[in-house]
Amino acid sequence: MEGVTVTAQAKMSPIHLTDQDLLRRMLAGDEEAFTTLYGRWQRSIYRFALQMSGSVAVAEDVTQEVFMALIRQSQDYDPARGPVAAYLFGIARNLVRRSVKNETAYVTMGDDPQVEENPTSELLINRDGPLEEFRRNETVATVWQAVQSLPAHYREVVVLCDLNELRYSDAASILGCSLGTVRSRLHRAHALLLDKLTRKKNDYPAEAGGAERCLA
């Protein structure tokens, strides 16, 4: 019976396999399993690194290192400690922390974004009119800066739960903390974000008013 299952699984396309099965195949030297696993998780890992670091270069390096670690040290993965995704995010998290450790800690709201390249700048698709597009771009840029200015442990939960829409339990597994800690950090992170965004919004009318006066 087990043999039948194994045979059926062996014939199954890698796309339909679970991450663990793919990892098992990968360990046996199956290149297709590796590419499938890479295709499944590279976006999330890249985005996580980008959203955490604010740097495209760091995001690329981290993504590469995460999958290099998967190639070289995947035998270290312990299924009892969480899913493969949590293992990958865990590596990415450590790498991001290491890479940004020596760099400027946080971006302050009043300053120019300290990212080498604004990853949100060229991504907004013009589905609405120019004004709507402008507003959305501005909102995205503001929220991006606000997220980047959060302390790392709050930024992590926002990136994982809000931007990548992971479940709390998965986030807890990645961060190595309890579900309650994820909830409380998220609550606190949102409070900080609201505060930052409100302050930014309150600054805006003064600038707008100045502009009106000039125009008048």
The stretches of the chain forming alpha helices (DSSP H) are: 2-11, 19-27, 31-53, 56-73, 84-101, 130-148, 152-157, 168-175, 179-215
| DSSP string of 46-91, one letter each residue | HHHHHHHH--HHHHHHHHHHHHHHHHHHGGG--GGG--HHHHHHHH
Is residue 29 a contact residue for other proteins (CB under 8 A)?
A: yes
Nearest to 175 by CA among 156, 192, 189: 156
Binding segment (CB under 8 A) for other proteins, from list 3-11, 33-41, 92-100, 205-213: 33-41
Min dist CB 53 to other proteins, Å, is 13
Residue with smaller CB distance to other proteins, 20 or 108: 20
Q: In whole angstroms, what is the distance from residue 108 CA to residue 146 CA?
A: 8
Q: In whole angstroms, what is the distance from residue 9 CA to residue 57 CA?
A: 38
Residue window 66-105: x/- pattern of binding to other proteins, with contact defined by CB under 8 A:
-xx--xx--x-xxx--------------------------
Is 102 in contact with 189 (CB distance < 8 Å)?
Answer: no
Helix (H, G, I), strand (E, B) or coil at 151: coil
Is 54 in contact with 115 (CB distance < 8 Å)?
Answer: yes
Q: Which of 17, 136, 177, 200 binds other proteins (CB under 8 A)?
A: 136
List the structure tokens of 196.
């930052």
Residue with smaller CB distance to other proteins, 102 or 129: 129
Q: Which of 6, 105, 194, 208 binds other proteins (CB under 8 A)?
A: 194
Is residue 28 a contact residue for other proteins (CB under 8 A)?
A: yes
Is residue 24 a contact residue for other proteins (CB under 8 A)?
A: yes
Binding interface with other proteins (CB under 8 A)? 20, 23-24, 26-29, 31, 34-35, 38, 42-43, 45-47, 50-51, 59-60, 63-64, 67-68, 71-72, 75, 77-79, 119-120, 123-124, 136, 139-140, 142-144, 147, 158, 161-165, 168, 183-184, 186-187, 190, 193-194, 197
